[in-house]
Amino acid sequence: MCGIAGAFGGGGALEAARRMGRGIAHRGPDGSALAALHGPDGGEAGAFAHARLAVIDPTAAGDQPMATEDGRYTLVFNGAIYNYRALRDGLRAAGDRFRGGSDTEVLLLGLARHGPAFLERLRGMFALALWDRERGEGLLARDRCGIKPLYLADAAGRLVFASELRAVLASGWTGRVLCPGATASYLAAGSVEEPRTAVRGVGALPPGTWARFRVRGGAASLDAPREYAGPLPGAAGEGERDPARAARRVREALRDSVEHHLVADVPVGFFLSGGIDSSAVAALAAEVRGGAVDTFTVVFDEREFSEAPVAAAVARRLGARHHEIPLAGEGLLAALPDAFGAMDQPSMDGLNTYVVSRAVRESGLKVVLSGLGGDELFAGYPSFRRARALARLPRWTGPLRRAAASAAGRLEGARAEKGALLLRDPDPALAAYRASRTLFGPRAVRALAGRDADPAGARPPAGLPLLQRVSWHETAGYMRDTLLRDSDVFSMAHGLELRVPFVDPATAAAAAAADDRLKLGRGSKPLLVAAVADLLPREVWDRPKQGFTLPFAAWLRGALHDEVAGAFAAGPWDRVGVDGAAARGVWSAFRAGRVGWSRPWALYTLLRWARHNGVEAE
């Protein structure tokens, strides 16, 4: 995993790329490089910058930007291709020669030979840029799940792109104006919905797409993205009803995914929360590798939030080298300046990833596996049960539900607004998702930001069963826009590669192949439990689900109180497009116990992020 950046068209592309290279240096502590790129006439077309975290073939043979022997193609790439060895064998059989053993070289020669069609063969996470000197054209692409980000700005004949929004801003080719609607989007969900970003004029290349760009007469232009792969797969119609067969298929797929995600030429560690997802990944890895693994758990003084005893039990069962990372409110307060310095876009989540990633990197590891994605695929969130409950309501209740939604929408308070969301949409999957993931309801967003959130409104493919539709919303929304984005930026802030074996097409296909009735039952995620329970202590899976979260409510009334209260009082809220009186009302409501911690924390985060990055509303 690394950081990439590029600038094309106009004058000064090399200097713009150099500035962006400095902006992504933290992502690649093992080396950095800059390459000027030329067109067919020999004139300057643009430049690539790269920062390297050496994981696969850490020798100089894996350095980037990487060019073919004839110099025609040049590649920068961020991520990891887990099936690169099989792909290399195929390319060798076709006549390609390799100078090293990296997945980067496989990607370079595969794209040179097959073009964008090669993207469909990749199993991994990636964002890449390929330049073809002979044609004066380039290719941008991103993995199908959006694990790796790629931000770009295309205007006035100039194109810039990078692994982080802040690097795009560092180019000097864009402004620092808050995107119209970004504040409302953030307030609605706790993160800015793709393809929009927090900054006007900068967008995200959609997952599973590629886009061609070219330079003609010194000016760059970008084509519309083309899709090469959809989101994680689903299956229409009834699925496998036999519990043993379904569990066996999940076990085999997840084990295969974990084995692929262990591909590295450096040691690999594991986040271990004590829940079934991260425990399953660590247990299967121990089974595949046949040796001790390193596991890492954040522990709190607030015992009701800590899963430390369960995580320790898992580590003992696996014979792991277990590392506990203590975190208190005072420690988070001390870490806030660096954490907000690492935050690429405003997010109410993710600081836990920042803290544990720092500890893992300080231990000397470069790669860590996470259980992210298990809840989305195996019905671990409340949204799945809510959707099933809504679907069981008789059809004649539709008019009553809509009337109740209208009445609830006129009431004050967060619960009333969420109740309105739950009842309003006729699709139980979307209604349950929105009720679960909405931070500020529509009326609260209008009061704070003066406009509606304007969601993208994408819908899952037709024919998917109910729980798969919920899964589609969770993976294409909350997972992509919050969890994966935060995991990338907060792990890479410490030069740590974070891998997610659940976010894998084969694992998703195995989950989708099971009938909905196998995914909900007694306890949390019964299908996943059936697949891996024999590997784990009983206390991991035979207990109520406990989501991993920091004890913010206690900290906002304790160690963080003065810092956050001062920010609410001082603002300036108009610089982030928020009504100051409405914002202070949220803080007062929290102190009075009328709303939870997430609302004031999200507002504080927006203000702090904008101030740190010099971004203001117009």
Task: Name residue 240's beta-bridge partners.
Answer: 514
* CA dist., res. 49 & res. 3, Å (int): 8
C-alpha–C-alpha distance, residues 56 and 54, integer Å: 6
Which amino acids are annotated catalytic?
Answer: 2
Q: Which of 7, 348, 340 is nearest to 169 (CA)?
A: 7
In whole angstroms, what is the distance from residue 228 CA to residue 209 CA? 6
* Cα(452)–Cα(180) distance, integer angstroms: 11
What Å distances lie between residue 41 and 66, 131, 216, 322, CA to CA? 21, 14, 11, 58
269: left (phi over 0), alpha (psi -120 to 50) or beta: beta
Q: Identity (one letter) of the amino acid at 528?
A: L
The two structure tokens encoding residue 392: 């069981």
CA terminus-to-terminus distance, the chain: 36
DSSP 3-state of 385: helix
For the sheet with 31-38, list strands across it. Answer: 31-38, 44-52, 2-8, 158-162, 151-155, 203-204
User: Alpha-carbon distance 156 to 235, whole Å?
Assistant: 44
Distance CA 296, CA 279 (A): 11
Token pair recorded at residue 360: 């893992």
User: Pairing state of beta strands 367-369 and 268-271?
Assistant: parallel
Q: Which residues of 40-51 are buried (b: 16+ CB within 10 A; e: fewer)?
A: eeeebbbbbbbb
| SS3 at position 558 | coil
Contact 51, 31 (CB under 8 A): yes
The stretches of 363-480 forming alpha helices (DSSP H) are: 374-377, 382-391, 398-409, 414-424, 428-437, 442-449, 466-474
Question: Closest by alpha carbon to 189, among 454, 377, 387, 564?
Answer: 454
Please state the three-class secondary structure of 175-221 as a single string. CCEECCCHHHHHHHHCCCCCCECCECCCEECCCCEEEEEEEECCEEE
Nearest-angstrom CA–CA distance, 384 and 375: 10
Distance CA 195, CA 23 (A): 22
